[in-house]
Amino acid sequence: MGDLESNTVLKRITYLEKREDLSQTDFGQHWVGPHAEIARDLPGVACYLQNHVQHRISLSDEPAYRVDGIVELWFQSDEVVSAASDSLVADRLVEDELKFLSGLTGGPVIAHLPHEPWPYKIWVLGLRKPETTSDALGQWEQKLCGSLPGVLGSEINLLKDNPVLLLREGLRHETQIPHVAVALGFEDQHSAENALDVIAADQHKLLGLLRNVHVYLARERVIVDAQVGAES
Supply the pLDDT for residue 158: 97
Element (H, E) at 39: helix 36-39
Residues of the chain with pLDDT under 70: 1-9, 79-80, 82-84, 227-232
Supply the pLDDT for residue 83: 60
Q: Which of 222, 218, 221 is nearest to 54 (CA)?
A: 218
Do 128 and 213 contact (CB within 8 A), yes or no?
no
Do 13 and 107 contact (CB within 8 A), yes or no?
yes
Beta bridge partners of 53: 218
Do 127 and 179 contact (CB within 8 A), yes or no?
yes
pLDDT in tens, 45-58: 899 999 999 999 99
Do 133 and 4 contact (CB within 8 A), yes or no?
no
Do 17 and 189 contact (CB within 8 A), yes or no?
no
On the CB side of 125, how many CA atoms lie within 13 Å of its CA? 26
Supply the pLDDT for residue 87: 82
Supply the pLDDT for residue 79: 67
Do 105 and 167 contact (CB within 8 A), yes or no?
yes
Cα end-to-end span (Å), the chain: 5
Beta bridge partners of 19: none
Supply the pLDDT for residue 227: 55
Which residues, including other chains, have CB under 8 Å from residue 148's CB and lie 6 or more apart?
184, 191, 194, 195, 198
**Rounded Cα distance, 179 and 24, in Å:** 26
151-159 and 101-111 strand pairing: antiparallel
Q: Which of 143, 181, 139 is nearest to 159 (CA)?
A: 181
Q: pTM value?
A: 0.93
Supply the pLDDT for residue 204: 96
Please state, in angstroms and as integers, the Cα–Cα distance from residue 165 to each residue in 5, 98, 215, following that order.
Answer: 22, 19, 22
Do 134 and 69 contact (CB within 8 A), yes or no?
no
